[in-house]
Chains A and B, each alone.
Chain A
Amino acid sequence: MTNPRGRFGIHGGQYIPETLMNAVIELEAAYDRYKEDPDFNRELTELFNEYAGRPSRLYYAAKMTEDLGGAKIYLKREDLNHTGAHKINNVLGQALLAKKMGKTRLIAETGAGQHGVATATAAALMGMSCVVFMGEEDTRRQALNVYRMKLLGAEVVPVTTGTATLKDAVSEAMREWTSRISDTHYCLGSVMGPHPFPTIVRDFQAVISREIREQVMEKEGRLPDVVLACVGGGSNAIGSFYHFIQDPSVRLIGCEAAGRGVDTFETAATIATGRLGIFHGMKSYFCQDEYGQIAPVYSISAGLDYPGIGPEHAYLHDIGRAEYVPVTDEEAVCAFEYLAKTEGIIPAIESAHAVAHAMKIAPQMGKDQVMVITISGRGDKDCAAIARYRGEDIRE
C-alpha cells in the first residue's frame, strides 16, 4: 500500500481519515482505467464540445493592448463556457467518471457558487442527485448562484461552522463523504485535497492550455511570453499553465487574492503570507497561525477566499517555475471595471485579479511580446457585490 504517487515535490499526499482511504483508492483505480480509454475520452470530448461549447475562444484584446501600450494581449475566454466558468471542464470529467464507477450522487463544495452550479448542471444532465455545501456567508454574497443550483435540482446546504466560507464548505463536504461513500462521489472543485484529486482536476482543466497553445500558434506562430491566471485552490491556473510547464520561455504567473493587502490579516494570499502545513488532505502552503490553526482568510472574491493552494502550485513555486503575486480587492475591482469598459467583457471578480496584474506588467513588455490572460469566468454573479463595494445598493 505504499504510495509513491500523488506528490509534487514534497507537496500533496493523502492526509485523510482512514474511512475515506478505500474511496480515494477506488477513485484512482477508476481514473487510471478510464483516462486513456478511447470511449471515455470520446464521450468527454463530445460533452466538452457539444454541451459546454468548447473550444473556448482565444480573443485578441485590441483595445486593451493599445491602451496599455505594451504586450499583445489575448484573453482565454473560459467565461464563455456553459455555466459561465472553467469549472464545467472538471465537473463534466468527474461526473462522467463517477457515472462509470456506478455512483448515483454527487456532492461538492463551492465558494463563489460557480463550481456548485457546474456540479448541479452535470448532475441534472446525467441524472444524478446532487448536494452542494456552501458557506453561509457565501450564500449571502452569491444568492443568485444559490438559486441557480436549486433550479438545477440540487440541494444547497449552508455551512455555518468556522468562517462560513469555502474552507468550511470543503470540511463539511469531506465530513459528508465519510458518512456516505458507496453511492456518492465527492466532486472536488479545485486542484487540491488528497491524491488523486489534484491530478484528476488538473488533467480535466489542462484542456485550457492545450487549446491556448494551438490557438496562439495559429494566430501568432509562436508560444506566448506570459500566461496569467488567478489562483485560489488553483484549478484554472494549473489548467492554463500545464501544457507550458516544459517551455521555460513562457512565464507563468498566478495571481492570488490579497484582500485588503498582504500586510493585513484580511488576506487570502497563501504564497505571500502562508507557510508549509498539512490540511484538507494535502501538504502545501496554508495561511495559519504559529500553532497551525488555519487562518480566517478574506477576499472580496468568494472563489479565491481559501487559506491554501493546490500542491502542484506549491511545487511550481518551490522550483521557481511559476510566479505567484498578490492582487488586492481594490486592484481587482478596478480591473473588473476596466475590462468591462475597455473590451465590453465583464469578468468574474476572481479573473479580474489576473487582469489587474496584467495591467501592471503589460506596459513594461515589448509590443512584439504576447500575453495570455485566462478569464476563468464571467462576472454577472459579482455585479451586486461590486456595486456594494462602490457604495451603490442594487437589488437583484
Chain B
Amino acid sequence: MSKIHQTFESGKAFIAFITCGDPDLETTAAVVRSAAANGADLIELGIPFSDPTAEGPVIQGANLRALQGGVTTDKIFDLVRELREDVSIPMVFMTYANVVYSYEAERFIRTCREIGIDGLILPDVPFEEKEEFLPLCHQYGVDLVSLIAPTSENRIADIAAEAEGFLYIVSSLGVTGTRSEITTDLASIVSVVRRHSKIPCAVGFGISTPEQARKMADVSDGAIVGSAIIKILEQYGRDAAPEVGKYVRSMKDALR
C-alpha cells in the first residue's frame, strides 16, 4: 500500500491544491506548511502550465501569475526538497502532460522519487494514454492518480480496477472552479468503484464550503479543494499562509 493510500486509513481526508509560485515560491512554501500544520492530509502541488485546459478562470489566473513570476519545474523541485525537511504528509504534483514530457518523462519521474513526491495527477492523460507515463511511475514508485468524471459511466470499472494512490472523482462537468451546487450522483459512482477496487475516492471540482466538503466526504473518502484556496491567495498575496491555515482547519474540522 502506498503512502497516499495509507493517508486515507485514518479517516476522511482533506486535500489542498496549491499552484506553485503564485505569487512566489516563498509564499507557496509558507502556505504548504500552514496547510499541513492545520490538518491537510495531502497536498496537491500544481506545476503551472501556459495553457491549462482543464482549469477554470481562478486556477488559470494562478498559473499565469506563477509563470510571469518566473517559476520553472526545476525551481519547484527545489521547493519540494526544502519542504521535505519538515513536511511529512504525502505530496503529489498536478500538472499537464507536456510539462512532464518535455522535461523527459524519466528524468521528471525519477526526480519526483528523489525529492519525495508520492504521486502525479495529469488531467490530460486519460486511461487510454496512461501507458505514456505508467511504466516509469511503476519503476520509480510514484502513484499515477486516475480521474473519473460524471460522464465516465461504462469506463468507471476499468479505471477503478487499475487505479493507484487514490481515485480523483470529478464532481461536475466543466472545468475547475467553485460551484454553489453539485448535482452529480456521486454516491452511485463511488458504489461502482467500490465493487471493483479498494482504492480510496476523493471528490474535487467545485468544493469551497465546509458543508460541501462534509457532503462530498459522506459519500467518499475525502474532499479536494483548489480554487477556494487560490482565491485566498489572490486576496492576501504574500500574507496568505495564516488565512489558508484557518480555512484548512475549518474544512478539516468539517470532515472529522
Contact = CB atoms under 8 A, between A and B. Distances in A.
A341 interface: no
B183 to A, nearest CB: 13
Interface in B141-161: 146-155, 158-159
A18 B53 CA distance: 12
A174 interface: yes
A1 B127 contact: yes
A19 B155 contact: no
Interface stretch (B28-36, B169-177, B217-225): B169-177
A18 B174 contact: no
Interface stretch (B16-24, B94-102, B192-200, B243-251): B94-102
A293 B147 contact: no
Interface of A (DSSP majority class): mixed
B149 A18 contact: yes
Nearest to A20: B151
B126 A14 contact: yes
Interface stretch (A160-168, A209-217, A249-257, A313-321): A160-168
A2 interface: yes
Given A162-B51, A175-B53, A291-B103, A18 B127 contact: yes
A15 B97 contact: yes
Contacts of B73: 291-292
Given A22-B153, A277-B101, A278-B124, A17 B173 contact: no
B178 interface: no
Nearest to B152: A18
B111 to A, nearest CB: 13
Interface string A270-285: 0000011111110000
Contact of A181 (B102, B146, B151): B151
B234 to A, nearest CB: 16
Interface residues of B, number: 44
B54 interface: yes
Contacts of B148: 18
A278 to B, nearest CB: 4
Contacts, number: 125
A180 B173 contact: yes
A19 B97 contact: no
Given A291-B99, A293-B67, A16 B173 contact: no
Contacts of B53: 17, 171, 174-175, 280
Contacts of A2: 128
B166 interface: no
Interface string A297-339: 0000000000000000000000000000000000000000000
B50 interface: yes
A101 to B, nearest CB: 15
B125 interface: yes
Given A171-B53, A291-B73, A16 B151 contact: no
A18 B97 contact: no
A207 B218 CA distance: 56
A161 B128 CA distance: 29
Interface residues of A, number: 39
A178 interface: yes
Contact of A17 (B64, B100, B124): B124
Interface string B97-131: 11111110000000000000000000111111100
A292 B98 contact: yes
Interface in A150-199: 161-162, 167-168, 171, 174-175, 178-181
B100, B148, B175 — which one has the most chain A CB atoms within 10 A of its CB?
Answer: B175
A194 to B, nearest CB: 9
A17 B146 CA distance: 11
A288 interface: yes
A294 interface: yes
A3 interface: yes
A48 interface: no
B114 to A, nearest CB: 18
A288 B98 contact: yes
29 contacts: A1-B127, A16-B126, A17-B123, A17-B149, A17-B170, A18-B123, A19-B173, A21-B126, A21-B152, A22-B151, A22-B155, A23-B151, A161-B60, A175-B174, A178-B54, A178-B173, A178-B175, A181-B151, A181-B173, A278-B98, A278-B132, A280-B51, A280-B53, A292-B49, A292-B103, A293-B49, A293-B67, A294-B50, A294-B98
Given A15-B124, A18-B151, A19-B170, 20 more contacts: A1-B158, A15-B97, A20-B151, A21-B127, A21-B128, A21-B152, A167-B51, A175-B175, A179-B175, A180-B174, A181-B151, A277-B98, A279-B96, A279-B97, A280-B53, A288-B98, A291-B73, A292-B49, A292-B99, A292-B103
Interface of A: 1-3, 13-23, 161-162, 167-168, 171, 174-175, 178-181, 275-281, 286, 288, 290-294
